[in-house]
A and B are shown apart, each in its own frame.
Chain A
Amino acid sequence: MKRLVIPGEILADKPLRLDHTLVEDGKTCSTIIGLFDDQAGSFIPIEGLWYPQPGEKVVGIVDEARLNTDSINLNAPYKGLIISKFTEGNLVNGDIIEATVKDLDKTGTVVLVRPRPLYGGKVLAIKPSKVPRLLGKNDTMIKQIAEGTKSSISVGMNGLVWVKGGNSDLATDAILKIQEEAHVSGLTERIAKMVGASNQM
């Protein structure tokens, strides 16, 4: 049985190795708002910030294109950086890109590789903690939205989502609905009904 927990709430009277938790005096307590499953011992964040992990895909906006490096706005506490030798062609300020995280350096800068410009479309900012729910298991949720609305969608783990073409307004509504209702069961069915795609779950 999952329960909604808030910061400072004790999850277990023993130390557990879980993200977004803290062990003090041998007890595990939550540091953010999330869902805790007592039986499975799992913690799903509802509110939370993004912590870059190598290999993750992100969407960003070019802040400052320079000769050797490009500075990328990731809408996060970390600044993105692309070293130009990894770039094919030139990026200009305001370009939307998707890229992969190579590393997080000591100064809190995220080194990005394999940048790919995304032309046109629009960028939505959602809470990074809702991104796994937006993607769904094996990306089923996002594929469902993309098929239902005929839009091209690129989701960054940092919470920026790029949407272009098709019924992009409906896709936007569906993405924002997932953000609002991520913690309530039966979401896949409601989204399937909304975008009119067949339920593949």
Chain B
Amino acid sequence: MDKPELIINGKRLDGRTPEQLRPIKITAGPIRNAAGSAYIEWGTNKILAAVYGPREALPKHTSDPDKAIIKCRYTMAPFSSLEEHGRPGMNRRAIEISKVTKEVFENVVLLDLFPGNEISIFVEVLQSDGGTRAAGITCAAVALAASGIPMRDIPYAVSVGKAGDTLILDMNKTEDNYSNADMPVAINPRTKEITLLQMDGELTPEQVRQGMAMIDKAGETITRIQREALRRPYEKVQEKYKASI
């Protein structure tokens, strides 16, 4: 198949401008049995995240007597993608994404408060359309905050790519397949610390700078949506009684 034209008259395949995000909707707390949970709809991506713990780290040899450990499991449902995703469960890609997601949260959660314990983060992709690692991190951050586990910040993640010579933000699956570069980034919005930076393809240093500026701007929107999702359950009760907090 020939490479499709990704940008026509300044608009992308789905009608967005290069620096436009897909619509994002986050719900906090859909899973009752988890300590914290969240559901995200990012464009047509649909992802559930759940957090359990802190609880005793098992098997025992994985525990750290000085701090808690984070275990993360990112999986795609067998029906999540248009392509055949094969057997359910972990594959090479899922193991890699689980690892990078874990490392994002190791830099955010105050682990030294719970020595010998583990915090389990599960990210389940129900429907995928590109950018699921970024959406998964954004969703898991809300789930962690909802669980009451102390955190330094609520990180967000988003990717930037290159179609021809144009930088495009938040690529969908088609753009991901035919773009010249893909760079997912996770950032702590308060301190602007970068906790995830991966890249496929080629970008010049100037393009990386431009891409980071686009991510920074989009981060304001994503952070606002994350915070609104966390506030909504409490505001609902408030509205019910028309009372102050």
- Give the B-binding residues of A (Cβ under 8 A): 2-4, 6-10, 20, 22, 24, 29, 31-33, 35, 45-49, 51, 77, 79, 107-108, 127, 129, 180-181, 183-186, 190
Q: Are A20 and B237 in contact (CB under 8 A)?
A: no
CB pair A8 B153 closer than 8 Å: yes
Stretch in contact with the other chain, from B11-19, B126-134, B174-182, B227-235: B227-235
B231 touches A4 (CB 8 A): yes
Residues of B within 8 A of A8 (CB): 151-154, 188-190
Q: Is the CB of A29 within 8 A of B231?
A: no
Mark B124-161 against chain A: 1 for CB-CB distance below 8 A, else 0.
00000000000000000000011111111110000000
Give the distance to chain A from B106, nearest Cβ to Cβ, in Å.
16
Is the CB–CB distance between A6 and B243 below 8 Å? no
Inter-chain contact A31/B56, CB cutoff 8 Å: no
Whether A77 pairs with B151 at a CB distance below 8 angstroms is no
Q: How large is the interface on B (under 10, 10 to 19, 20 to 34, 35 or more residues)?
A: 35 or more
B82 at the interface (CB under 8 A from A): no
B148 touches A127 (CB 8 A): yes
Write 13 A-B pairs (CB below 8 A) sorted by A numbering: A6-B145, A7-B145, A8-B190, A24-B191, A29-B152, A32-B145, A32-B151, A33-B234, A47-B147, A48-B148, A107-B116, A108-B117, A181-B237
- B43 contacts partner chain A, Cβ-Cβ < 8 Å: no
Instruction: Give the distance to chain A from B237, nearest Cβ to Cβ, in Å.
Output: 5
- The residue on A at minimum CB distance from B189 is A8
Instruction: Return chain B residues, CB-CB under 8 Å to A45.
Output: 148
Q: How far is the CA of A147 from the CA of B207 in the complex (A)?
A: 69
How distant is the Cα of A108 from the Cα of B53 in the complex, in angstroms?
14
